[in-house]
A and B are shown apart, each in its own frame.
Chain A
Amino acid sequence: DQQVKQNSPSLSVQEGRISILNCDYTNSMFDYFLWYKKYPAEGPTFLISISSIKDKNEDGRFTVFLNKSAKHLSLHIVPSQPGDSAVYFCAASARYSGYSTLTFGKGTMLLVSP
């Protein structure tokens, strides 16, 4: 039973355009959400997070939106750059596990072409 779902295995975008990666969750206990980026042969690296008390968080070219009623979040990358090509994982955590347990989606591979 997948509690965090990323329904698009891959996404192709042209350099300079917007990349939108989507994520849905089912567990209403999740109250903290994160995006990680992973290059081949490396571990995931933290990108941006959002608490359930917010609906938007920005960090430079990266913005995460949270729609609690729809149990949906999205990551927007504007403008997209070739170096953004990687696998992006959506993750969620909850107070009851001390926020130290992350539940991940299966990832979306983003390819940004020049």
Chain B
Amino acid sequence: KAGVTQTPRYLIKTRGQQVTLSCSPISGHRSVSWYQQTPGQGLQFLFEYFSETQRNKGNFPGRFSGRQFSNSRSEMNVSTLELGDSALYLCASSLGSGSRDEQFFGPGTRLTVL
């Protein structure tokens, strides 16, 4: 069974640009969550999508957005990039049944903003 895949693995952008990251969940998983990992803040929850709908949202500005497609693949977008957006962005997939399903993480996308 293939794991969670994320593309691209590395990305370099400049301030003010926008970026789109992609996540393909494990086959059969309908929930995709996104997390931001920085040295200072650890792993912070961005949002969760289930059946193409945002089900939960973390405390991030509106520059961070996402969507989920009918095949459960998800994308997250960051507009007007800031230096502080440099981080490892992780996505996790799960069945999403609401009964403590295990979340499986992808390897992450390392975003560097110059």
The chain A residues found within 8 Å of chain B, CB to CB, are 32, 36, 41-46, 49, 51, 89, 91, 93, 97-107
Report B-chain residues with C-beta under 8 Å of the C-beta of A32. 100
Residues 73-114 of chain B, each 1 if its beta carbon lies under 8 Å from chain A, else 0 = 000000000000000001010101011111111111000000
Q: Given A43-B107, A89-B42, A105-B42, is A99 in contact with B48 using a C-beta cutoff of 8 Å?
A: no
- Knowing that A99-B101, A106-B41 touch, tell me 13 more A-B residue pairs with CB under 8 angstroms: A43-B4, A44-B90, A45-B105, A91-B43, A98-B55, A98-B96, A100-B50, A100-B56, A101-B58, A102-B33, A102-B43, A102-B103, A103-B45
The chain B residues found within 8 Å of chain A, CB to CB, are 4, 31, 33, 35, 41-45, 48, 50, 55-56, 58, 90, 92, 94, 96, 98-108
Inter-subunit contact A100/B94 (CB<8 Å)? yes
Q: What 10 A-B pairs are tightest by C-beta distance, nearest first?
A: A43-B105, A106-B42, A104-B43, A98-B98, A99-B100, A101-B56, A44-B105, A43-B107, A43-B106, A100-B48
Looking at the assembled complex, report how far the CB atom of A97 sits from the nearest CB atom of chain B, in whole angstroms: 5
CA distance A100 to B109 in the complex (A): 21
CA distance A102 to B33 in the complex (A): 9
Inter-subunit contact A46/B43 (CB<8 Å)? no
**What are 7 A-B contacts defined by CB distance under 8 Å?**
A32-B100, A46-B102, A46-B103, A98-B98, A101-B58, A106-B41, A107-B43
Report A-chain residues with C-beta under 8 Å of the C-beta of B50. 100
Looking at the assembled complex, report how far the CB atom of B7 sits from the nearest CB atom of chain A, in whole angstroms: 14
Inter-subunit contact B43/A89 (CB<8 Å)? yes
Inter-subunit contact A97/B100 (CB<8 Å)? no
Q: Given A43-B90, A44-B90, is A101 in contact with B45 using a C-beta cutoff of 8 Å?
A: yes
Contact for A104 among B4, B44, B102, CB less than 8 A: B44
A104 closest partner in B (C-beta): B43
A46 closest partner in B (C-beta): B102
Inter-subunit contact A100/B107 (CB<8 Å)? no
Inter-subunit contact B42/A107 (CB<8 Å)? yes
A49 closest partner in B (C-beta): B100
Inter-subunit contact A42/B107 (CB<8 Å)? yes
Report B-chain residues with C-beta under 8 Å of the C-beta of A36. 105
